[in-house]
Structure 1
Amino acid sequence: MYYIGVDLGTSSLKLLLMDEKGKIQNIVSKEYNLYFPKEGWAEQNPQDWWRAFETGILELLEDYDAKEVEGISFGGQMHGLVILDDHDEVIRPAILWNDGRTKKQVAYLNEEIGKEKLSEYTANIAFAGFTAPKILWVKENEPENFEKISKIMLPKDYIAYKLSGAFCTDYSDASGMLLLDVKNKCWSKEMIEICKIKEEQLPKLYESYDVVGTLKKENAEKFGMNENVKIIAGAGDNAAAAIGTGTVGGGRCNISLGTSGTVFISNDRFEVDSNNALHSFDHADGKYHLMGCILSAASCNKWWMENILETKDYNNEQDKIDKLGENSVYFLPYLMGERSPHNDSNARGTFVGMTMDTKREDMTLAVLEGVAYAIRDCVEIAKKQDIPIKSATICGGGAKSDLWCKIIANVLNIEIKRLETEEGPGYGAAILAAVGCGVYENVESASLKLSKEKMVIKPEKELAEKYNQKYQKFRELYPEMKKLFGKLNQ
């Protein structure tokens, strides 16, 4: 039998076909457009996601028996606001996780409602990317659209709805909406009132491995599958990636270098850091996790390579870099503002320290190092919570770079483990599908069994110390720049 994992990313939709032993049989990727209608805004058309799925699934199964597919599950970009009317039509383009238009609404929530109250209601405070501020923005700026809302969805759940008709979400993805009581796993009545919505406009809540429905007849016929194919709830992309990398149970860590960057720490118990600098979310294994998120990670490298250097030969650019720990150029990777730990949508990408001797390689290295330093910012918050991080798995597009993995190992001064399968969210989603279909007893045992180490990158004592000194300088840059960032965005 086969299990399909759907990774609904920001730049593309990936479909992964896995057999019951956890072996990946095929992967197909379909790109779609990302729109920036105004500075700091980011939107996508949900119909583009569905079209990518429709074409991608046929290609994925072209050389396989579609009747052997038993389950489909999802890992998806979090926080995006998808709204449907009472005819199930998309009302407006989805407002994405990296959209920064909600400064006013975030300030209202954090300052007038109050961070303490928000943390009490949801275990988190407001960030520009979260869903609740987006709902308030639509209410204030597009009242005619707000009045049309019948269903409020997250991106991956739109695909689940189109496939099965199930209006659903899972706890891990719902945790990032600022509408969920994370500790008690239910919608927060206080936040529903604050956002002036109704609970029936919100999806039914499930664990990530729960079956939410089966394939609609018309979809089964279109894709050549059986109608009894199970649709499993799935998870937010980072929680799905954690499943795909064995980051389950207490005290394990995964670093994701995708469009955004995350530090994901699995936790057996519910916990909130004192300043809410890390997100406190439910996990796809049925437990909890803490997460630090930087808004621009591999996207920084893509921007630098393709937009500025106008090349797609990433390896050639990185091969020229030979000296680590000695770069005098620093890069603040805040191209879309920043979330953890600064929570500042005004922050911007910045190079500091160039001289007449600065070379192309120095700038390229600074981008890689800047992302690594920003990830360490999140790790330092975890350390203050007495959470020891001695090693981490790594996934995402950036994890394919040997150089970047080495830099991160030494900046964090921990072992970095690369896995045989680096398809984090898609692989995690396929595992959830298999668990939901009863192939494995539970998520934790399946995740640990199927995630296998390929390589361990150990920090080098001398280089780690050099990077520690560089990081101490890096961490002073944002506080010095904060006021200027605010003025630049007035």
Structure 2
Amino acid sequence: MRVAAVLGVDIGTSSSKGVLVDADGRVLRSATRSHEVSRPRPGWVEMDADVWWREFVSLSRELLAAEDAEVVAVGVSGMGPCVLLTDAANQPLRPAILYGVDARSTAQIARLTERFGEEEILRRCGSALSSQAAGAKVAWVADNEPELFRRARRLFMPSSWLVVNLTDRYVLDHHSASQCTPLYDTERQDWYAPWAKEIAPDLDLPPLRWPGQVAGEVTAPAAAEAGLPAGVPVVTGTIDAWSEAISVGAQGVGDLMLMYGTTMFLVHTVAGRLTNPSLWGTVGALPGTRNLAGGLATSGAVTAWLRDLFGSPDYPELLRLAEASGPGARGLLMLPYFAGERTPILDPEARGVLAGLTLSHTRGDLYRAALEATGLGVRHNIETIEASGGDIRRVVAVGGGTQGGLWTQIVSDITGRAQVIPTQTIGASYGAAFLAAQTGWTVSIETWNPVREVRQPRPALAADYDELYGLYRELYTSSKRVAHALAARQVRLLAGPPAASDNRGTEGAAP
């Protein structure tokens, strides 16, 4: 018997994921496509938009071939904020510049901050300019690729790129726009024309919708390519971390979502507008909501890097070794700033540090130190959120890193916070499916995705982790000058002619 289903697809940093979900929230089928980012120069992280649509089509066709389902709506999400510039005919002019892991716009951040004023940017936009700001990267293209920029007419992100390919509608969601600092006014919840015209006078910024609003319907050509029925609704979608928060119901005031993936993301829902120059103040994924958010530049990316260095043992074995290492990783301490760092230090020139090494340390110790480094970074962000006026009442975990239990346990032990772990932790694609379901069904995320377990902190470890956290904060301060000097050397030694095909590493989310 054919079942009605919604399709949710998410374009992530290291992979794209798709799910078919029925009206009860049951995942009928899921599929994944792995991909690589391009790192043509130190501090640059890019991806060709063709990958995003090609993988959507591949996922859609695989899922529909494997399951006798009738798709009644489509939901999308993707990493962000990204900057994909196209001409008026939606032809990409260059590879997309990715979110805060790409740190190329330092000069533009400084110039625009001086031009508009740090306090005025924070007041109007909710966030200070940083490597996360899409508007600064638009300015980078204008400064460094002026001939190309003169042809640019449209701005896309992965979710909106899927929407335009599916529906031929050019739209963007409000949340994604609120990460285009300084182009969006979070008070008026619209593009801020005076600054947008100065930074990108010829760019036709997209009309804005909320993530759950219908953007359009699947066109006949898109239907033929992706194997979907023509005419079914497609929702506007949003950035993956916010779709993850939707997938686990972390939308209430006081909720904090922790996304365990290639990077670590934190989204706290607040009662009213809060700002802090060390965090990102955004509009939420749902109308009327506001968030104070943060993100580590790496988390699963470091564990994947270690796995590759170790000769690719499987993750369950590495988790077993890390558990045997024990709290504190037998005296190791890691700074997880392998791609610079986003919040709360906002330092693109920070670098990874592993302190305390001896000849007796093992793979398990190093892997444990990486997991603990994420927990220490999360604690730093949580303290900054609460110092800004945030009121964290519930922490909800989501993403691939929740599997196995050790990583979430370490984060709870370090932060002293219990974490709610729902039944489905597949993440953003499931959130996109839920948004799509709301176009025709009456559904609730609490029914779709009930709580599976609650990870409690272990009080006996609190004192040891308090000491380690103090050392973590001190290590960054004491090593900052050296890290910045080494970052400058890396630019001098490694920089060369940009080449889109020069892939220098893969970001992978892993437990």
Q: 1:482 aligns with which of 480, 498, 505?
A: 480
- Deviation larger for 84-93 or 113-122: 113-122
**2:36 aligned partner:** 33
Q: 1:80 aligns with which of 68, 78, 82?
A: 82
Confirm or deny: 8 A CA contact 2:64 2:227 kept in the other structure.
no
Confirm or deny: 8 A CA contact 1:394 1:418 kept in the other structure.
yes
Q: How does 1:91-490 map to 2 (within 5 A)?
A: 91-97=93-99, 98-178=101-181, 179-198=183-202, 201-273=204-276, 276-286=277-287, 287-306=289-308, 308-320=309-321, 321-322=323-324, 323-325=326-328, 327-435=330-438, 437-440=439-442, 446-490=444-488
Q: Give 1:130 deviation, angstroms.
A: 2.0
Q: Give 1:30 deviation, angstroms.
A: 1.3
Q: Give 1:343 deviation, angstroms.
A: 0.8
Q: Give 1:127 deviation, angstroms.
A: 1.2
Confirm or deny: 8 A CA contact 2:257 2:268 kept in the other structure.
yes
Distance 1:418 1:116, change over 3 A: same
Confirm or deny: 8 A CA contact 2:25 2:449 kept in the other structure.
no
Q: Percent identity over the alignment?
A: 27
**2:497 aligned partner:** none
Confirm or deny: 8 A CA contact 1:389 1:414 kept in the other structure.
no
Aligned residue for 2:66, secondary structure, equals coil
State the distance in 2 between where 1:95 and 1:231 align: 25
Confirm or deny: 8 A CA contact 1:32 1:52 kept in the other structure.
no
For 2:76, the aligned partner's letter is: F
Higher relative contact order (CA 8 A, sep 6+): 2
State the distance in 2 between where 1:409 and 1:190 align: 45
State the distance in 2 between where 1:223 and 1:259 align: 27
- Deviation larger for 218-227 or 70-79: 218-227
- Deviation larger for 241-250 or 461-470: 461-470
Confirm or deny: 8 A CA contact 2:328 2:369 kept in the other structure.
no
For 2:105, the aligned partner's letter is: T
Aligned residue for 2:295, secondary structure, equals strand
Confirm or deny: 8 A CA contact 2:274 2:389 kept in the other structure.
no
Confirm or deny: 8 A CA contact 1:325 1:463 kept in the other structure.
no
Confirm or deny: 8 A CA contact 2:255 2:393 kept in the other structure.
no
For 2:185, the aligned partner's letter is: D
Q: Give 1:485 deviation, angstroms.
A: 2.1
Q: Give 1:386 deviation, angstroms.
A: 3.7
For 1:186, the aligned partner's letter is: D
State the distance in 1 between where 2:176 and 2:75 align: 13
State the distance in 1 between where 2:450 and 2:305 align: 32
State the distance in 2 between where 1:25 and 1:77 align: 24
State the distance in 1 between where 2:11 and 2:180 align: 17
Aligned residue for 1:265, secondary structure, equals strand
**2:72 aligned partner:** 70
For 2:383, the aligned partner's letter is: E
State the distance in 2 between where 1:54 and 1:41 align: 27
Q: Give 1:191 deviation, angstroms.
A: 2.7
State the distance in 1 between where 2:471 and 2:194 align: 42
Aligned residue for 2:179, secondary structure, equals helix
State the distance in 1 between where 2:216 and 2:319 align: 47
State the distance in 1 between where 2:377 and 2:112 align: 26
State the distance in 1 between where 2:482 and 2:114 align: 22
Q: Give 1:369 deviation, angstroms.
A: 0.5
Confirm or deny: 8 A CA contact 1:390 1:415 kept in the other structure.
no
| TM-score, normalisation: structure 2 | 0.91
Q: Give 1:383 deviation, angstroms.
A: 1.8
Q: Give 1:58 deviation, angstroms.
A: 0.5
Q: Give 1:388 deviation, angstroms.
A: 3.4
Please list the CA deviations of residues 7-66 of structure 1 after superposition, one character each: whole Å capped at 9, or x if unmatched. Answer: 110111111111111111111111223111111111111001111111111001113345
For 2:283, the aligned partner's letter is: D
For 1:479, the aligned partner's letter is: T
State the distance in 2 between where 1:390 and 1:251 align: 5
Q: How does 1:52-71 map to 2 (within 5 A)?
A: 52-65=55-68, 68-71=70-73
Q: Give 1:391 deviation, angstroms.
A: 3.7
For 1:462, the aligned partner's letter is: A
State the distance in 2 between where 1:38 and 1:406 align: 37
Confirm or deny: 8 A CA contact 1:326 1:466 kept in the other structure.
no
State the distance in 2 between where 1:63 and 1:368 align: 36
Q: Give 1:390 deviation, angstroms.
A: 4.5
State the distance in 1 between where 2:216 and 2:188 align: 24
State the distance in 2 between where 1:224 and 1:486 align: 50
Aligned residue for 2:155, secondary structure, equals strand
Q: Give 1:481 deviation, angstroms.
A: 1.8
Confirm or deny: 8 A CA contact 1:241 1:424 kept in the other structure.
yes
**1:89 aligned partner:** 91
Confirm or deny: 8 A CA contact 2:274 2:388 kept in the other structure.
no
Please list the CA deviations of residues 68-96 of structure 1 after superposition, one character each: whole Å capped at 9, or x if unmatched. Answer: 21111112101111111123211001111
Aligned residue for 1:61, secondary structure, equals helix
Aligned residue for 1:177, secondary structure, equals coil
Aligned residue for 1:262, secondary structure, equals strand
Q: Which runs of 5+ in 2 are unaligned?
A: 489-511
Instruction: Compute the RMSD of aligned alpha carbons.
Output: 1.6
